[in-house]
Copies of this chain bind each other. A is one copy, B any other.
Amino acid sequence: MTLETLSTNKAHGGVQGVYRHEATTTGTPMTFSVFVPAHEDGAKLPMLWYLSGLTCTHANVTEKGEYRAACAEHGVIFIAPDTSPRGDEVPDDDGYDFGKGAGFYVDATEAPWSGNYRMRSYVEDELPALILREFPMADLSRQGITGHSMGGHGALTIGLRNPDRFKSVSAFAPIVSPLHCPWGEKALTGYIGGDREDWRAYDACAMIADGLRVPEMLVDQGDADQFLSEQLKPELLKAACDGAGIELTLRMQPGYDHSYYFISTFLPEHVAWHAKRLNG
């Protein structure tokens, strides 16, 4: 397992890199980006994972996210994986919301998806192991996770599943319950199969109802988001957190939509919020 450097650029005093490796979990090359802020030799830095939404690669947030100034200020490494396996041999779907660009951070069990679509294991296990080996300044004892839309779903579910690993969890306009939205129903039917009980392991609200816990969450949601009422439904997460004693800070942001103009407005605040918890 070797790491290929596709590009490095100095930015905000640190280095924004893009890398590729042959991933065992997905059976494909996988590309991701890492921003490492300036730091003293031998220093260990906390890490913030950012999981992207439907149709995205690592590149969207890397180019449009406006996170580097905040990461430089707070000394936080920023890691952005891809959203699915890629390649001509990888099965795909005609829709933008299933198949390539839409891995949903699950380990698929259904054919033909189960061979490559193992983004849960990739993000939870394989990529962290690679980061540990290749980025010696990364402090794996101080990790936070965030994400947008489908990636917000990824952040919430992976955060809930690994509360010892991720000390801080936030999201932007997340899919909070795949059981209760068309995007989730299509994707989980395809990847996991028709038994909705099996979906509960990939549904943040169901995971909370089933006893999984993190102490707190920060969620920003634009109230002009075109997917708000049909797909995102933050009220379901609020009800689940209220019932479980999870301190949810849900900020409805007036006039903001689902785009990177929304994300880039608030991502610096999320970086600071995670840094406070990871550096504290």
Name A's B-contacting residues (CB within 8 A): 9-13, 16, 63-64, 66, 68-69, 222, 224, 255-257, 259-262, 264-265, 268
Cross-chain contact B264 with A10 (CB below 8 angstroms)? no
**Extra A-B contacts (8), CB below 8 Å, given A11-B262, A63-B260:** A9-B262, A10-B256, A10-B265, A11-B261, A11-B264, A12-B264, A63-B64, A66-B69
Residue in B closest to A15 when the chains form the complex, CB atoms: B255
Count copies of this chain in the complex.
2
Residues of B close to A16: CB separation below 8 A: 261
Inter-chain contact B224/A264, CB cutoff 8 Å: no
A-B contact pairs, 27 of them (CB 8 A): A9-B257, A9-B259, A9-B261, A10-B222, A10-B224, A10-B255, A10-B256, A10-B257, A10-B261, A10-B262, A10-B265, A11-B262, A11-B265, A12-B264, A12-B265, A16-B261, A63-B63, A63-B64, A63-B260, A64-B64, A66-B66, A66-B68, A66-B69, A68-B264, A68-B265, A69-B265, A69-B268
Contacts of A13 in B (CB 8 A): 265
The binding surface of chain A is classed by DSSP as mixed
**Nearest chain B CB to A220 CB, angstrom units:** 13
Interface-centre pick from A222, A259, A261, A265 (highest chain B CB count, 10 A): A261
- A63: B residues at CB distance < 8 A: 63-64, 260
Shortest Cβ distance from residue A36 to the other chain B in the assembled complex, whole angstroms: 13
Shortest A98–chain B CB gap in Å is 26
Shortest CB-to-CB span from A72 to chain B, Å, is: 9
Closest B residue to A13 by beta carbon equals B265
A63-B62 Cα distance, complex, nearest whole Å: 11
Which residues on B sit within 8 Å (CB–CB) of A69?
66, 265, 268
User: How far is the CB of A207 from the nearest CB of chain B, in Å?
Assistant: 32
In the complex, what distance in Å separates the CA atom of A256 from the CA atom of B259? 29
Contacts of A255 in B (CB 8 A): 10
Q: Which residues of B contact A10 (CB under 8 A)?
A: 222, 224, 255-257, 261-262, 265
A62 to chain B, nearest CB (A): 10
> Closest approach, in angstroms, between the C-beta of A148 and any C-beta of chain B?
15
Across-interface contacts of A64 in B (CB, < 8 A) = 63-64
CB distance from A12 to the nearest CB of B (A): 5
Once bound together, how far apart are the Cα atoms of A259 and B63, in whole Å?
11
CB distance from A56 to the nearest CB of B (A): 13
- For A68, list chain B residues within 8 Å (CB): 66, 264-265
Measured in the bound complex, the distance between the Cα atoms of B10 and A265 in whole Å is 9
In the complex, which residues of chain B have a beta carbon less than 8 angstroms from the beta carbon of A224? 10
